[in-house]
Structures are given as C-alpha cells and as structure tokens.
Amino acid sequence: MSETMADAGADTQPLIKVENLRKLFPVSKSIFREAHDFVHAVDGIDFEIAPGESLGLVGESGCGKSTTGRMLTKLTDATSGQILLADEGELIDIASIQRSHMRRFRRRVQMIFQDPFESLNPRRTVYDTVAESLTVQRIGSVQQREERVAELLHRVGLTPPEQFLFRYPHELSGGQRQRVAIARALVIDPTFVVADEPTSMLDVSIRISIMDLMLKLAEEFNVSYLYITHDLAVARYMCDRIAVMYLGKIVEIAPTEELLSNPQHPYTRALLSAVPVPDPAHKRERIDIKGGISKALNPPPVCRFIERCPRATDHCRTSDHPEFTDLGDGHFVACYNL
Amino acid sequence: MAQTLHIESRGGRVGTPLLEVQNLVMHYGTKEGEVSAVDNVSFTLNNGEAIGLVGESGCGKTSVALTLLRLLPDNSVIKGGDIKLDGESLIDLDEEQMRRRRWRDISMVFQGAMNSWNPVYRIGDQIREALRLHWPETLTYQEETDRIGALFELVGLNPVTMERYPHEFSGGMRQRAVIAMALSCNPKVIIADEPTTALDVIVQDQILRELKKIQQELGMSIIYISHDIAVIAEVTERMGVMYAGKLVELGSTLEVFHRPRHPYSYLLLSSTPSITGPRRKLAPLEGEPPNLLNPPTGCRFHPRCPFAIDKCSSEEPGLVEVGEGHSVACWNWQEVPEIGGLQK
Amino acid sequence: MADILTPPTERLDGFDPSAVLEEPLWRIRLRLSWRSFRKNWALFSDNKMGIVGILIIALFGIMALAHPVLMATVWQDHLEGGKNVYDIRAGADSIIVTKTIVEEVTDPVTQISQIEAMFLGTGVSIPEIGDTIEAPLANPAPPVLSGVDHPHILGTDPFGGDVFSQLLFGARAAFLLGAIAALSSVALATLVGTIAAYFGGVIDTLLMRLADLVILIPLLPLLIVVSGFWNVELTMLGILIGVLGGLGGTAIILKSQALSVKVKPFIDAARIAGGGHWRIITRHIIPNVLPLSFLYMMFAVTGAIFTEAALSFLGLLNIQQSWGIMINIAHTQGYTLEGLDVWWLMLPAGLSITLFSAGFFLVGRAMDEVVNPRLRKR
C-alpha cells in the first residue's frame, strides 16, 4: 500500500506534515495548584517528510528533539499543533487522534530507541519482543507470526533466526539487541519510523553496520525515518535533509549537503564548526558563540538564540522569533540577519 | 609565594622521554577465568607531548590508564612489564609511595568526572582538599585560595565561582573544574580518559581547545584516551590504536590517519562518518570484538580482518617499524590500502 | 493485514521462514522456563544461607505432612478413656475433676498445690488450703522416650495432650497461615504498587495516602481490637495480616520498583506496539517487579508467624491448635515461671516459631542476592 502512495506523488503529498507543534511541560504543578511556569520543550515547529525520505533532527541535549519524536509516536501528547500522517490517501491528525484510530496509527508509526540495553524487556525473548505488535493487534495465527518474526530476524541479519528467536536480551551483544529493536519496529510494516539516536550507545565498529542496515531496510520496507541525533556526521550519513533545532525551535532546515556546505543560521555555523573532524590535517574555522544553552523556562517571545548570537541586532531584540526565510531548493532558515 | 601561583608541568625538557611503559601485562581474575585486559603494551610519552589511545569499549585503554595509576580493582594482577616515570620504576613502589605520586606526579581526568563532585562541598573547597593532601608544603588558606583562583583562570572559569556548589555549575563548567583539579599540584603527566564524552559538541569543542592550549602553553604531557578518533585527531601529536588489550598500531597522528597500516585502524578510520570530505559509503567492520576470557589465537583481530592470511590465526604479530616512529603489529600490513581504497 | 504476513520472497534470498520452527511454541517456552529456573537455582544455591533456610523449611514441611499420616497409621489405636491420646484436642477437653488444695501434693489425681490452684483460679486471691477447685485430671507429663503405656516423646501439656503431636500440627497451621498471609499481602502489594506507579496522578496519590494510613496503624493493637469484635480464625487472620501488610510498606517498596521499570524505554516500545494499560502492566511491569515480590513474600511469612504467636499467646484467636496456642496454654495454666523444669511445654513451640521464621528469612536473604545482582560477591 505504501508503494502506491509513493507513486501517487512523492513531491506533492508528504507522508508527515507537522504544523506549529508545541509541547509545554508545566513546572511545579500539583492537583491543588495550576501551573504558571512552563518549559517550552518544543515551541511551534513545522516540517514535512516525504514518503521514503529521511529527515535528520539535530541539536544539543535539551533542544526538544526527543520530545518531538515522542509526540510523533504519540508517547507524549502535544500541547497544540497538528501532526498529519498520510495513510491510504487520507490524512490522519496524530495530535488529536481518535481512540478507534489508534490501532491503525500504531501500524503506521514505529520507533527505534537509543539504548538497546533498556529498550528490550529483559524478561521477554526476542520472539516475544518482535512479535509484540502482531500479538497485541491480533494479526495472523501463531504459526504466521512465528514465520514473520523469523523473516524479520533474517532481514536484520540475525541469522540463522532459530538461534536468536528464543534468546533473552542479556544473551545478546549491543549490536544484536539494536537489530532486534529494528526488527520489532519493522515487523508490522510501518510507513514511518522515529529513530531516536539509535547508534549513539553502540561501539564505533558496530555503528556503521547498524546504520547501513537501517538504510537498506528503509529502501526495502519503503519507510521514512525521522532520525534524531546530536551527531551531524551521523545525520549526514543517514539523512536526505537535516533540521537543526535550538531551544524548541527549528532554526534551519535544508537538504543535507546544502546545510553542511552552506549553513546560514549562526547556530548551525557554530555547531558545524565545533564538530571534531577525523582528520588531523583539517584546519577548521572556529565560530565562537557565547555561553551555554539558555533555559527553555518561559522564554521571551524574541529569537531563542539571541543571548548567544554573534550577529544579534536591535531588530532581533524587539521582534518575535523569526519566521522561516525560503532560500530556495528546500533551504529554510529562521534568522533576520542573513 | 609566587611559586604557589605558578602552574606548570614538573616534567623535564620538552622532547625527552618522561613516561615509559614497557611490555605491560595486566589480567583481571573473574569467576569464569582470567581476562587478559592489557597484553604486552609498550609506549613512551615525551615531555610536553600529547598522545592518544584509541579503541572500542573493552579494548583495554582505560585499563592501561588505571594500571599506570595503580588504581586497579582488587581482582586485577599486573603480570609483568615496567612503568618508568622520569627513569624511576613505578611498578615496584608500595601503595603508600604510589599514593604520594598519584595526584602529584600523575593526575587523571576520569570518564564522567564532572559528575563525581561531592554535591555538599563547594567546588573550590574540593580542590583545596586535593592541595592539602598532595601539595608538598603546607600552604596558608590565602595561598590556597590564590592558587585555586589561578587554576580557575587558566581553565577559563571565573575565580569567583570557586565559592559555588557543583549543582550551580553547568556540565561544561564542572568539567573545566575537573581539569583545574587535575592541574592543581603541577603534575608531570595528566591522563584524560574520555574527557568530553558526555558533553554537547559545542562545549566539547571549547574544552578540547582549552586543554590543547594548556598543554601547549605549560608544556604539559597528556595521555588522551577516547573511543572517538575525531577527538584524538584534534588534540594529539602521536597515537596508539588498541584492540582487544593489545596495542596494534603506534605512530604520529598524521601518519596513522593518512596512511594507517593496521587493518583495524584502517577499518576504524573508514567506518567513521565525517562532516567533511566527500559523502561516501563507509566500510563496516564486521563481527564483534572478541571475548578476552578466551581471545583468538594468533592475531586477536584475525577473525574480523579482511586482510587475514593463514599465518594470522596461528602466530601472534609483534610491533614492527614501518616508518619513522610508526610501528604496527600485523603480518600483512603491506596489503592495507590507502583510505578509501576498499570502496566500490 | 494479511499482506505483511506473506512477504515478497525475492527479498529473502532463498530463506524460508516457515522452515525455522519445528517445535510447538509451548514446548520451547517450557524449556526456557526450566533453563532460567536452573540458572537462578545455581545462583541461589551458591549461597549457603539459602540452603540452610530451604532445609529448615523442608523439615517443617515433613513435620506438617507427618501429622495426618501418623494419625492414620502408627498413632491410630492409642486410645485412653475412649479418646486417642495423640489427638490434639483430646487433652484440651480432658476430664475435669475436683481437687483439694494441699501444701504437699501426694496424689496428683485428687490434690493440687496452692500455686497451681492460684493460676487456675479466676480471682487474684490466694486459694485457702483445704478448699476444693475444679482442675484438669492430668498434670503435664515429662517426655518419655520409650514405653508403650506412656508414649509421649515430648511429654504432654497440662491437659494431657501430646506435645509432639501438637508440634506437628502446629507446623501445618504455620504453613497455612504463612501462605495465606504472604500470598495475599504480596498479591495486593504488587497490584497496588504497580497501579500506583503506572497511572500516577490522583490514583497514585490516593493509594499512597492509604498506604501511609495503613503504616500508621499499629498492626498488633488493631488485631487485638478486631479479635474483640469477631471470632478471628486462622484463614481470616492470614488475610487480615496480608491485607494490612500488603497495603503498607511492601506496596510502597514495590511501587518504587515498578516506577523504575515504568520509565524504561521498553515500556514506551510496548505502547508503540499498541499494548493497552492492562497488557503493559501484566506483561511488562509485573514480570519485572515479581522477583522483588517473591522476596517480600518470604519476609511476609516471618511477620505473619510472629503476629500469630503474639495473638495466640494473648489468647485472642479462635484457632484449633498452633505453636502460639501451645505457649498460651502453658502460660494460662501457670507454668510460665517454672522454666526449665517443664521445658517441653514451651521450648519446642518457641523454637519452632523461631526456626520456621528464620528458615523463610534465610531464603529471603538468599533470594535477595539473586534478585539484586549488586549484592552478589564476585
């Protein structure tokens, strides 16, 4: 079914369309008191993901990238805004989804987690873990589920599957666990997978094989990824486009190579200049920004980056957080001083 | 008086050997058997030099550091080899003599050290404690305060902040304070084990630059330990690559990065994504690191090595010189291509 | 959704998923449980403490099983005055006769000492010599290890009941009480703790305030009051101890464990798979809390036995026979102060209470090391 949708026009109809998505976490709330202070974890973001495309969401810790991923998988409810998911020609709004549509949504959207040691239930076998969504949603007979799980294990490279089906997580290495997690996400044939730093806990030598596997499977299963990472080099390897987040806002979004070669937002530039390069001969141009990340607690309505920005002007201090400027070729940047 | 303000490396003339590690062997005794965590590791750290040890988790790089400081857990045994600091062997020192040298001669920035501050004491007082324990003479309170202030300035912290508690510091500031503490007694050597691993890129970059500046200005000798070859590329002059408890390649950082001779170094470099250079398919490193309870015979890398020959599974290669100051432990190093050579 | 179950075979490069599993799933699961049991047993049996505990519990298990078997076989025909001498009730309602209070007892069938009479009497006044008093026919008889006509190997109680028989029967009562109390307490604690942790918010607040309340109520005085209103029997006592223990401290401990499980990413993963609250609680949280629950079950047994002993000693329970009752009878019949002279009245029962509790406690401690790997020695 996803094939037909991709044919229907990858350029015209996005798979995921996020509009003005916000998540505010109340601070010091109790049943007796209304909260007055909010952490603006995600503060009005917009983006689209085409069928089969991978979007990288890059930013430092606390920028709201993981919260975005959790809203897209409905682990966290959005405070406001829309998340539209294209499914069989219809657009479902994830943010305000009906209970009756929940099952259908869970078949379309899956997630791969960061820590393979914590994302598998230690008391359940590989089979139980991978078959979970089939079992819960009562898809197929026991025999069919077994076969589907075996097929998935084969496809994620846990071969021969019979050797892995009934192992417990503690009997697997980190890389093998992450393969199980990938199999679990894909077993139900989703169209969209949120991958939250799936390789950051793995050893360097395992990392590439997992990333390659994810790229291969993206093609085979025709899934789109929202790839959340703090590592721009990894995002470059995995993603077609990259969105850079800072304090709950997307400050720049562009096709991968365009973003790396032609960064426009001062934060993107600083971030890029700070990434260590595995080449001792490489001399990079440093762009210093002041201080550390500001707090997302009740931020003023001006540009979120203003305190650290080397090119902030009076205009920035008196205006709202800038809207996206379209630089062409899908390159958008939220800054007044380009 | 002024001497207490002076932050320096107490090592010798720049370029002369300071720390010599010779054929170090260290095992951990476990229920299942002996784990050979460090096997026959030799390297030299010169005065004023920054060297790096790189490898995956469990390759023995942290064990090397702990062995140098003799901060090993009870179930470990140093089986052989020698560690010489300024020509004096550290291996035969008893615990008390070693304790006196530990912070004063060799200090360490531990992995995750920024989370090891005691939350109920002020940062400055915790450094003061280190000074009282390890500074050769007794200092007055004012002298201590002055020195801590000087240390704070050196690592890019405002001296006023020494009165603050750890929770009032950001992660980056705490890590800077850890570095200040490591420098507090003018050590000869600093061992920095994953000094920036838990930090965000921008902060990591600031701290690495700070460390590099300090190292160059003071002529400090630093051993960096990291799993991240990009970090090693940034800050070191020479580097060693470790795999499964063994040092498999040793050479200048430039050499190793541009012309790695060991298949493992080669694959490690080829499998590291970068934001620079052409976007290329990376060569995956197949398989998983071996279990050190029962390491493979011959070369420990041979089961994963695409260049392995028959000899590799039976005979263990020693380090051989392949260029100036560049040695590699591989039987088939001539076959290792230039970076990118394996790509389709 | 059948389409996802019939994959395009060309992607599988000749791999046939239907050929992977030949064995039925239940048999594999059975084998897995057996394997994990053996592994945990290996860890458990590493600890000598646990083995000692198991041996103690096994000993009492044999005792509990032995009672009905002995009654039906060896002890069957020991009749005396129409009653089986080994019947735990035979002594309790044994013949009451009128005895004369004398200074020096020469005939225990018709005479009684002043001190004994004082304990038998209801008032505080010292009975006069020469008065008569209703008293049981027999005095406690000391243990006799041989002899057919007086075959009480641990002697008799003041009513002539066989102490050994009572001791065996008491083990049965202890197991019954312990099991009821432990199961109800831990079942309740697991459920309450998990639900409070999982749902949080108002449910959590309510359940936890309830737990605070239960902790504040002193168990023993409450049970004393309850026994004044109702006829508290063994099963009811077990359930009462279970409910009060389960709603209190254990629930809070198991809640904190459930909380640490709830925040694990595998719970998020289960939600993404589409699992409802009930499935997540029963399949994902409870299995990870259960080892700790088992642990607290062991400690709950210990608590229940102590509580029962205390209440029985005070004579507040309507229980046929238990170790506590044995001590209670010795006490109410005035033998508390005679100490070692009548050791068989209290020592066997007291030791049994202590050992039985210690057995479960030791098993609990050894299980603790299986459940919390941090406690294990390298």
Q: What is the mean pLDDT of residues B205-216?
A: 90
Q: Has residue B222 got a pLDDT over 60?
A: yes
pLDDT of residue A53: 93
pLDDT for A4: 37
Cβ–Cβ gap A111/C269 under 8 Å: yes
As for how many domains chain B has, the answer is: 2
Chain-chain contact of B268 with A203 (C-beta, under 8 angstroms): no
Residues in chain C: 378
- For residues C273 and A132, the answer to whether their CB atoms sit within 8 Å is yes
**What residues of A are in contact with residue B253 (Cβ under 8 Å)?**
280
Count the helix, strand and coil residues of chain A and give each as a percent rounded to the nearest 5: 35, 25, 45
- So where are chain A's domains? 2-333
CA pair distance B295, B175, nearest whole angstrom:
36
Task: Report yes or no: C70 and C168 within 8 Å, Cβ to Cβ.
Answer: yes
Residue A151 and residue C4: Cβ atoms within 8 Å?
no
Burial (0-12, 13-18, 19+ Cβ within 10 Å), A208: buried
Instruction: Examine the domain organization and report whether B7 and B110 are in the same domain.
Output: yes
User: The domain that contains B39 carries what CATH number?
Assistant: 3.40.50.300
Report the neighbours of B using a cutoff of 3 or more CB pairs below 8 angstroms: A, C
With an 8 Å Cβ cutoff, are C17 and A147 in contact?
A: yes
Residue from A98, A191, A184, A105 nearest A148 by CA: A184
A305 closest CA partner among A287, A288, A322: A322
- Same structural domain, B30 and B154: yes
Q: Measured between alpha carbons, how far is C32 from A168 in angstroms, rounded to an integer?
A: 10
| B127 within domain boundaries | yes
Give the Å distances, CA to CA, from A10 to A2, A51, A53, A178, B197.
11, 6, 9, 30, 40
Q: d(Cα C237, Cα C220) in Å, to the nearest integer?
A: 11
Residue B38: beta bridge partners?
B26
For residue B249, being part of any structural domain is answered with no
What is the longest distance spanned by two Cα atoms in chain C?
A: 109
Residue boundaries of the structural domains of chain C: 49-66+162-375, 95-136
In chain B, what residues touch A286 (CB-CB under 8 Å)?
205, 209
Residue of B201, B267, B269 best to disrupt the A interface, most CBs of A under 10 A: B201
Helix (H) or strand (E) holding A210: helix A204-221
B32 confidence band (pLDDT: 50, 70, 90): confident
Task: Examine the pLDDT at B1 and tell me if it is beyond 50.
Answer: no
- Taking the C-alpha atoms of residue A324 and residue B22, their distance in angstroms, rounded to an integer, is 60
* Closest of B255, B260, B98, A130 to residue C266, by C-alpha: A130
CA distance B1 to B149: 14
Domain for residue B134, yes or no? yes
Compute the distance between CA of residue A252 and CA of residue A261 in angstroms, rounded to an integer.
13
| pLDDT single digits (tens) A144-174 | 888 899 999 999 999 888 889 999 999 898 8
* pLDDT in the model for residue C96: 64
Give residue C124's pLDDT. 53
- Domain A2-333 in CATH 3.40.47.10: no
Q: Which of the residues A100, A123, A127 would you substitute to probe the C interface, choosing the one with the greatest number of C C-beta atoms within 10 Å? A: A123
Mutation target to probe the A interface, by most A beta carbons within 10 A, among C11, C257, C264, C266 is: C266
Q: Are residues B20 and B50 in the same domain?
A: yes
In this predicted structure, what is the pLDDT of residue B42? 93
Residues B87, B202 within the same domain: yes
- Say if residue B232 is in the same domain as residue B281: no
Are both B101 and B194 inside the same structural domain?
yes
pLDDT of A162 reads 87
User: Is the bond preceding residue A160 a cis peptide, omega within 30 degrees?
Assistant: yes
**Which chain C residues touch A if contact means CB-CB below 8 Å?**
1-5, 7, 11-12, 15, 17-18, 20-21, 25, 28, 32, 36, 201-202, 205, 264-266, 268-276, 279, 283-284, 287-288
Return the closest-CA partner of residue A165 out of A177, A181, A178, A149: A149
How far apart are the C-alpha atoms of B70 and B108, rounded to whole Å? 12
d(CA A187, CA A182): 9
Model ipTM value: 0.88
What is the secondary structure of B66-107 as a DSSP string? HHHHT---TTEEEEEEEEEETTEESTT--HHHHHHHHHHTEE
A10 contacts A52 by C-beta, under 8 angstroms? yes
B163/B270 same-domain check: no
Nearest chain B alpha carbon to A260: B275
| Chain A residues inside the 8 Å CB shell of C287 | 121, 123-124
Which residues are within 8 A (CB) of A83 and not within 5 positions of it... i.e. 6 or more apart? Answer: A16, A17, A18, A19, A21, A71, A72, A93, A94, A95
Predicted local distance difference test score (pLDDT) of residue A281: 83
Q: What is the separation, in whole angstroms, between the first and last Cα of chain C?
A: 50
Per the CB < 8 A criterion, the answer to whether B22 and B90 are in contact is: no
- Domain end marker among B203, B236, B269: B236
pLDDT of res. C5: 60
Residues 6+ apart with CB under 8 A from A230: A58, A59, A60, A61, A197, A200, B200, B201
Q: Answer yes or no: do B306 and B215 share one domain.
A: no
Residues of chain C predicted below pLDDT 70 = 1-14, 19, 77-85, 89-97, 108-109, 115-116, 118-126, 135-151, 160, 339, 373-378
* Token output for C43: 């860890």
| CA distances, C251 to each of A149, A151, C211, C214, C222 (Å) | 38, 43, 7, 11, 19
Same structural domain for residues B263 and B227?
A: no
d(CA B186, CA B208): 19
Please give the Cα distance from B152 to A60 (Å, whole number): 26
- Return d(Cα C201, Cα C198) in angstroms, integer: 9
Q: A208 — contact with chain B (CB < 8 Å)?
A: yes
Q: Nearest CA to CA, how far is C294 from chain A (Å)?
A: 16
Residue B19 belongs to some domain of the structure: yes
Which residue of chain C is at minimal alpha-carbon distance from A185? C273
| Least confident stretch, A203-207, B71-75, B129-133, C317-321 | C317-321
Which range of residues forms the domain containing residue B142? 2-236
Query: Which residues of chain B approach chain A closer than 8 Å at the C-beta?
Result: 56-57, 170, 172, 200-206, 208-209, 227-231, 233-234, 236, 253-254, 257-258, 267-269, 271-277, 279, 282-286, 288-289
Low-confidence ranges of chain A (pLDDT < 50): 1-10
pLDDT at C57: 94
| Domain C49-66+162-375 class, CATH top level | mainly alpha
